[in-house]
Structures are given as structure tokens and as C-alpha cells.
Chains A and B, each alone.
Chain A
Amino acid sequence: MFFSILNIKALMKRYYIEYRQLVSAFFFGDVLERIMFFIAFGMGLGRAVSQIDGVDYITFLAPGIAAGSGVFIMNIATTYGVNNRYEGSGIWNSWLSTPIRLQDILISELIFDSLRAAPSLFILYVVAYFFGAVPSVEGAMLTIPILVLANMVYGVITLNMGVYLGRMLYFRYIQALWVMPMYLFSGVFFNIDETPEWMQLFANVFPLYHVLEIVRPMVLGRPVDMNSVLISFIVLSAIFVVGFYVAYKQFQKRLFD
């Protein structure tokens, strides 16, 4: 097989030890900021915008913040985090001197960073629930695994961008030209259907938009269009597989050539 389960398990354990040590920094970074955003925008804009898409603004916002948070976490982890491991501390080199192979490292990195977001999503939903912003609790819980998978897609894209740009100095372009536009134009804060047509077309470029199309109706307890879910799932899976292969090739070139 392309991956070695044994190797992935060993790496997961290593990531978990690091996570346990830094859990408070992760916690504040991941969870608290999202909750602050949620409460501030939900309350602040909530009074200016009474109803959006047929619900209170804060209810509309909850799935947006939930789905959007992974984009930032995955970006930092797959650019700065990964670069630090293969250039800064150089520990990838030490791993590669053992039976662990490049593909095992890459997939473990993506899986672990994606999973890391799950607890913070849960906490965010709990907070949102107390604000009465979670109409369908089962729906919200079901979105957690979906969003973890979505994180893998965001992660593989920024992983490619990071290794292509190569130097930390350039990583802020990823933030400026990809992450922020995606966050601001995928419908986290407002309903894309009500924006000008060019903005609606633009939104289609971003995976976050497609993820939100699935996740928001689930949290709002509305019927989900299964056909569009299937299409989105296929497209996102294809992006992941192709993205992973390209990233693998890029890293092979960068590390071994």
C-alpha cells in the first residue's frame, strides 16, 4: 500500500504528545478567537440585520464561523508549521532516516491538524446553543466529521502553496490572496445569494463556499439537496487526491533533489 498504517500510528502518537503540551495555546488560538468572533459579530451585526435567509443573524452566523475556522487553522499548520518541521527544526529529516516515508508524514500531518479542530467545533456549537443559535442539534453534530474532512481539503491546498513558495517570508501571500478572500467571500458573514452576481460567481472558486452549502442547511435543520452534496463530495475528494499527489511530488523534489 502507498501508506503504512504502522508509520502513521507512530507519527500520530508523536503529534498527540506535542498537542498535549501546547493544548492551552491551541485552545486559545483555535477556540476562544472563534467564539469571540461569533459573539461579537452575532450581537454586533445581529441588531443591524434582523433577519437573514429567514433566521436570526446569529443563527445564520453559527455554521459560518464553524466552517470557516478550519481554513485558518489548516493554513497556519500546513505552511508555517510544516516549514518549521522540515527546515527550522529539521525533524522531518530525522524521521526520514527511519522506516517512515514522506507520504506517511504528509498524510499524518493533514489528518492530525484536521482532527485537532473537532473539539473546538464542538465547543463552538455548545456556545452557539446557549445563544439559541443551533436549530438542529443532530445536524450540528453531524457537521463535525464533515468539517474535519473539509479541513483535509483546505489543508492540502495550502500545503501545496506553502511548499511551492518555499520561504516563510512569502507565506503571508497565502493568507492575503487565498485564505482571507475565501473567508470573506464564501458566505460566512452574509448570504451569498443576496450579493451581486459577480460575487456569487466568485464564491464558487472557494471550497469553503461549497462546504457551507452543505453544512449551513444541516445546522439550520433544513433539508439538504443530496444531489448537490454528492457533487460537492466528489469534487472535493478529487481536489484532495490530486492535491495530495502534487504535494507529494513537490516535496519529493524539494527534499530529495
Chain B
Amino acid sequence: MSIFVKTVYALWYRHFSTWKSMFWSSLTSNVFNPLLFLFSFGFGMGALVESISIDAAEIVYLAYIVPGMMAYSGMFTSSFETSISAFARYYMQSYWDQVLATPAKLHHLIWGEVSWAATKAMFAVICVMVVGYVFNGLELSWNVLWTIPIMLLGCLCFAACGMVATSFATSFEIFSYFFTFWVTPMFIFSGVFFPIDRFPEYVQWLSNALPMTHLVDVIRALCVGYELTALAYVYKLGYIAFITALAYGVAYRNMKKRIFD
């Protein structure tokens, strides 16, 4: 096994072992949170909005929001983990200094954080899928299986973006900007609860710049079975991959400057 994989695994495992002791509480909140949204929006809102049409196909509102919730849970969990949680480890617990005093390099460290955040986020995503399936908001098919690797890519992307915020942060207050200008817009302007074509055009431009919008689109297409062209898949997933690489690069350069300069 290469040194890279070994070291990243060691760092990943450190987070995993602290998380293990909180498994049950983590499971409870990961199941409870989507339940709340599904009940509130699925049943409460569903009474007002029975179905939503996409390209002339009518989709029951509950089935419409389950893929949105999957993407949202993944996005929120991974963003939180590499922003506020990672910053706490870096700043309050000086965990990073401990790690960098060993042969581990900054690349390993960032990959350790990002891969762990994505793992934790995938756990949340799978909880949503189970809840959605139980309440008839998600139908199982081969296509649904494809959402798992795609969600993983999405979670890596948001985790890398969270690292960018951490690389700039000097105090916890900074993250209120990260959440206000990045996480919240992806919650409300990326089509989690309703189609973005209802917004004025300039808002749609903004929506399309957010990787979340494309992720939601792909996941929803796979879950409810409406058609996206092959080109659309390539372009949407490519965009997410591009943002991931970009964010990783920026985070790495910034962290390097901050720690070693």
C-alpha cells in the first residue's frame, strides 16, 4: 500500500474512531432530521402542492423532495465537518500541529479531513434514502444505486469547499459568512424543495453556478426516472469534479501559506 493511502487512512481512522463512540446518537439525528422535513414538507406542504411537473411529467411532491433531501443532507454534513469541526480541531485542539509533527504531509492531512467528511456525509445520505424508501418517497431501481457514487463525488466536492473556508478562517465568526453565502443558498436556490425555473432569470444564473444545483438535478433524474441527456450528465458531473479540484487546490495553497510561512 502506498504511503499516501496508508497515511490518509490513518487520519481517516482517527476521526472514525471518535465518531464510533457516538454512533447511536449520530444515527438518531441523521434519521430524525430527514423525517422531520419529509413529514413537514411531504405531508404539510404536500397538502398544498400535490405534484410538481418536470418536462411534462408529474411527480408526487414527496418523491420530488426525497432526492433533494439526500443531496442536502450530504451537502450540509460534509460542509459542516470540514468547516466548523475541522477548524475546531485545527484551532482549538491544535490537532493539525500534532499531525504535522509526524511524517504526515499537508496533502495527507487535507485528504484525511475531506475523505472523513465525505464518509460521514454518505452515512447521512443513506439514512435519508432508507427513510425515503420506508415512506414511499423513493422507489428502488438500478438507477438509484448509481446515486451512491455520484453523491460521494458531491460530498467530496462540498468537503473540499469547506476546507477553503477553514483555510481562510481566523475565528469561528467567519463561518457565519460561509453558511450565509454558501451553504444556505445551496439549500434554498438549488432546487431542493422546488424547481429553480420558478425564479427570475438572474437568480437562475446564480443557481446554475452552484454545484449543488447540478447534483440535485442528477440525483433527482436517477431517483424519479426522468430523462437527462448523456451530455447533461457529463457536463453536470464534470462541473462538480472541476469545483472539487479547484477548491482542493485553493485550500491546499492557503493552508500551506498559513501553516508554514
Contact = CB atoms under 8 A, between A and B. Distances in A.
A16 interface: no
Contact of B49 (A36, A37, A48): A48
B193 A44 contact: yes
Interface string B25-58: 1000100110011011101110111001000000
Interface string B181-207: 100110011000111101110010000
A185 B32 CA distance: 14
Nearest to A203: B44
A74 to B, nearest CB: 16
Contacts of A32: 180
Contacts of B184: 33, 36-37
Interface string A149-161: 0000000000000
Interface residues of B, number: 34
B136 interface: no
Interface residues of A, number: 33
B57 to A, nearest CB: 15
A190 B44 contact: yes
B47 A25 contact: no
Contact of B199 (A28, A43, A177, A195): A43
Q: Is the interface of A mostly helix, strand, loop or mixed?
A: helix
A124 B247 CA distance: 33
B229 to A, nearest CB: 25
Contacts of B261: none
Interface string A20-63: 00100100110011001100110111111100100000000000
A185 B40 contact: yes
A177 B48 contact: no
Contacts of A46: 198
A224 interface: no
Contacts of B37: 184
Given A28-B181, A46-B198, A195-B43, 19 more contacts: A28-B176, A29-B179, A32-B180, A33-B184, A36-B188, A40-B188, A44-B193, A44-B199, A45-B45, A45-B49, A49-B49, A184-B37, A184-B40, A184-B44, A185-B39, A189-B45, A190-B44, A190-B45, A199-B43
Interface of B: 25, 29, 32-33, 36-37, 39-41, 43-45, 47-49, 52, 173, 176-177, 179-181, 184-185, 188-189, 193-196, 198-200, 203
